[in-house]
Every structure is written in C-alpha cells, then in structure tokens.
Amino acid sequence: MAQGRRTSLGRSTTLAPMPRPATTAGPGAFITIDGPDGGGKTTQAERLGEHLFARGVRVLLTREPGGTWLGERLRDVLLARTSTAAAPTDPLTDALLFNAARRQLVEEVVRPALDAGTTVICARFADSTLAYQGHGAGVPLERLHALAQVATDGLTPDLTILLDLPVETGLARKAPGDVTRFEAEFDLGFHRRVREGFLAIARADRDRVAVIDATAGIDEVAAAVASVTDDRLSPGIEPESARVRSTR
C-alpha cells in the first residue's frame, strides 16, 4: 500500500498525513455511487473520499467490476468490445460474472474494511446489475436479487448516491477510448431502461438511495454529494484516524 496523495481509483492508495495506529470504532459506513454511464461516478467517489478525509474519516475507495486481482480481470473481459465473430453475451452470463467479481470484492476488500471501522466508497454495486442486466437486458429481477444475495451475503449499502442524468448527455461525455461494450453495443432504448431502472430502485428505497442531478458541474455535484452524505450518515461516520486508500 503506497502512501501519499493520489486521486485515482486505479491504484492501492493511502492518503495519510500522519500514519497512526487504527483505533477502530466499530463498523464503517458503506457508501455506493451508482447510475447510468457518464454520470461521473469515479470523480465523485474521489471527491467524496476527500471530503470525508478532511473530516477525519478513514476511507477506502474501490469500484465494480474490479477492486481485486480477479475483479479487474473480469472487468477486462466484461467490458471488452465483442469480436465480430462472437455471439452476443447472454445477459444472465453477464449477471453471473458481475456477481462473481462482487463476491470477491465483498469478501476480500469491503467486509474486512468495514469490520476495521473504515468507511468504504464503492463506484457501482448490486444496483448496477438490477439496472443493466435486469431493467435494461430483461433478466427477471427476482433472479438478480437472489444472485446478489448469494454474492454479498446480504450486505447492503448504508447510503447509495444515484448520479442521474439523461442518457444522451451521459453517453456524449465518454471519451472515445473509454467506451465499453455496454456503451458501444447496446442501443439508446437499453440505456433509457437502465436509467429508468435506477430511478425505480431509488423510488422503492428512499431511505437508502439519494438521487442527485449529475448534469451540473463537477464542483456543484460534489457539494450535493457531500451534503447528502453528511445529512444521512452523521453521526454514523466516526471521524478518527484519517486515511483514504483506494484499491483495484
């Protein structure tokens, strides 16, 4: 684990002005940032990490699919554009692989961190499978709930920030080199169903999911994310030994 300040989710990172022994104060908070493509989840996860760090909260940043050795390899497979010779990937196969990556992340990274009193911020989590493979691609939601239950052993975020924006706006924001299979090979109708799926999840679980308009500028969205986190999780988040780590 490297020490010093980094802002990418792509490396194991510690943000620690003064390494101190951890004085664990019980379970950390589990925060997920989710939503349609192009909403700025990675940037906002980092900004929220910095906000909490400034309040003295020990934070771990991670992402799905990814966050572990296995998860990053599954990410490469899942997001790669399909060769023209290949059959389209079956959506349930996608769901199984996303959940395999999720299982590894929960066991290896998320639960140990929470148990050690660290607040975990994860870019995407189980809501993404419900929205993309369920609402978007048509896998029955009950099957996906059952898979998520197996993969997470019932671990549910304390807070989910849903960065919402129109599909066209989100897709237009993606740099050409950053376009995944989901953006390249699924049509606008799919992405609209994904967005509506996320909004339906939020409506059904208002205590957990906060919807934030992601069309505003980065600073404005970051302020809204920080404010909703402070409102909803204080005093659940215990400021103590300040550290931000990130993992892939």
Whichever of 97 and 233 has its CB closer to ligand TYD, that residue is: 97
Whichever of 24 and 42 has its CB closer to ligand TYD, that residue is: 42
Q: How far is the CB of 139 from ligand TYD (least distance, A)?
A: 10
- From the list 14, 180, 208, 239, which residue makes contact with ligand TYD (rule: CB under 6 A)? 180
Measured distance CA(223)–CA(77) in Å, rounded: 35
Whichever of 36 and 117 has its CB closer to ligand TYD, that residue is: 36
Residue tagged 């205590």 (tokens): 207
Which region, judged by CB under 6 A, interacts with ligand TYD, from 14-22, 45-53, 61-69, 205-213?
Answer: 61-69
* Class of residue 159 by CB neighbours under 10 A (exposed 0-12, middle 13-18, buried 19+): buried
Measured distance CA(77)–CA(74) in Å, rounded: 5
The 21-60 site mask, x for binding ligand TYD (CB under 6 A), equals: ----------------x---xx------------------
Q: How far is the CB of 55 from ligand TYD (least distance, A)?
A: 26
164 near ligand TYD (CB under 6 A): no
Q: Which residues contact 15 (CB under 8 A, 6 or more apart)?
A: 4, 5, 6, 49, 50, 53, 59, 242, 243, 244, 245
Measured distance CA(159)–CA(5) in Å, rounded: 25
Cβ 28 vs Cβ 158: under 8 Å: no
- Positions touching ligand TYD (CB under 6 A) are 37, 41-42, 63-65, 79, 98, 124, 128-129, 132-133, 178, 180, 182-183
